[in-house]
Amino acid sequence: MIEEVLKEADKILKERNQKTSIENFLFKEKLSPYELLILLLDDNDENLYLMAEVSKKITERYFGKVINLFTPLYLSNYCTCGCSYCGFSMENRNLKRIKLNEEEILKELKTIKSFGIDSILLLTGCDMINTPFEYILSGVKIAKDMFSEVAVEVYSLKEEEYKILAQNGLTGVTQYQETYNKEVYDKLHPYGPKRDYYYRLYTQERALKGGVKEVTLGVLLGLNDPIEDVFKMILHAEYLMKKFPNAEINVSFPRFRPAGTNFKESFKITDKMMLRFIFSARIYLKNVGIPLSTRENSKFRDALIGYGITKMSAGSKTCVGGYSKEYYSGNQFENEDKRSVEEIIEVIKRKGYRPEFTNWVKGVVA
């Protein structure tokens, strides 16, 4: 049970003042959770360089000199949740609500496909009335004919629903817990389906049992003590890896970005902290996938190529209908890296890496 893992994590977190030199364990094949916490807490710059080098070696071993590219597509921004940090929140009365119909979805997908992208992430807000399961299913069905990998980032579904989606071409599920701290979670999610902490916590398990091959966990950095959230997320990922040894597991580290609400983050996340989180995840979970979104600026994203990350989103638009420019609706958050797919490809190549578009054979899953 993941609850037990989180309870154990809380115990370890209470001992967070413990200081040991990271060099004592950095090169071990398997670190303990105590050692993971030391990595996350370390604030020595020299150690950060060392962690970067170790991360590079491990990443090359498992993933080679390759960066996978994907693009998100927002199908709808309707939402029945009141999450205070999110631009799609029901509280955001200024947002023009839009939902793409099948024809519009196809048009958007064609535009994204023309960039050369072969891996798509379909997103909606959390609204089971305007965007019911059938709507998500139809989106997956349209996308799977054009893309090798089709993932969704929607509200938490039932195992049976994930099974139907997987049978119809879904390869991945992304679900952010946002924060693992239950108290903070409850406060930030006052109403709506997302309010159920535990139902959300088990999303990845339901998806994997339903037959998807890849899941992505995430916390929204800035909502809570980042050490606690990142520590628990990494242990959550490890738990899933043990339970589903055949599944591809990813961890994501989005930082809070302004989103058309008045929300102010409780914790400021510096670049250095982000680096440390990414390297810690890589060193602790050697084969975990680490995507890096366009929330981060181009300088930061470019610097990380080769040092832990395995995937990058490219050419992203975070408003509904943003690719074929039929509509302009409000963004879920602001993008920092606004470069085109072609520009990202160039940077990856310049860094001595190969941009990769396909990580799965279309039609094999379904």
Partner 1 sequence: MSFIVGGKSIKNRLFVGTGKLPDYSILKRIYEELNIEVFAVAVRRINPEKGKGYSVLDFLPKEAVIMINTSGARNYKEAVKIAMIGREITNSDWIKIEISGELKYLLPDNEETLKAAEILVKEGFKVFPYIFPDLVLAKKLEDIGVSAVMPLGSPIGSNKGIDCELLLKAIINEINIPVIIDAGIGRPSHAAKAMELGADAVLINTAIATSPDPFSMTKAFSMAVSAGRLAYEIGLPKEQEHASPSSPLTDLIRGETK
Kindly state whether residue 68 participates in binding partner 1, applying the rule CB under 8 A: no
Q: Does residue 241 belong to the site contacting partner 1 (CB under 8 A)?
A: yes
The answer to whether 132 contacts partner 1 (rule: CB under 8 A) is no
* Under rule CB under 8 A, residue 287 binds partner 1: yes
What single letter denotes the amino acid at residue 297?
Answer: N
CA distance linking residue 95 with residue 82, whole number of Å: 13
Please give the Cα distance from 132 to 175 (Å, whole number).
17
Tell me if 302 contacts partner 1 by CB under 8 A.
Answer: no
CA distance 58 to 35: 17
Assess 335 for contact with partner 1 (CB under 8 A): no
Are 362 and 144 within 8 A, CB to CB? Answer: yes
Residue partners of 362: CB distance under 8 A and separation at least 6: 144, 147, 148
Of residues 122 and 365, the one with the C-beta less far from partner 1: 365
Q: Is residue 181 at the binding interface for partner 1, with CB under 8 A as the rule? A: no
Minimum Å gap between C-beta 71 and partner 1 is 15
286 lies in the binding site for partner 1 (CB under 8 A): yes
Asked whether 289 and 255 are in contact (CB, 8 A), the reply is: no
SS3 for 158? coil
Q: How many residues bind partner 1 (CB under 8 A)?
A: 32
Residues 6 or more apart whose Cβ sits within 8 Å of residue 352 = 65, 306
Answer for which of 6, 47, 63, 201 binds partner 1 (CB under 8 A) is 63
- When binding is defined by CB under 8 A, the residue of 28, 61, 182, 268 that contacts partner 1 is 61
User: 10 or 145: whose CB is closer to partner 1?
Assistant: 145
64 versus 132: smaller Cβ distance to partner 1: 64
Separation of alpha carbons 158 and 171, rounded Å: 16
> Which residues here bind partner 1, judged by CB under 8 A?
60-66, 116, 118, 148, 213, 241, 245-248, 286-287, 349, 352-361, 363-365
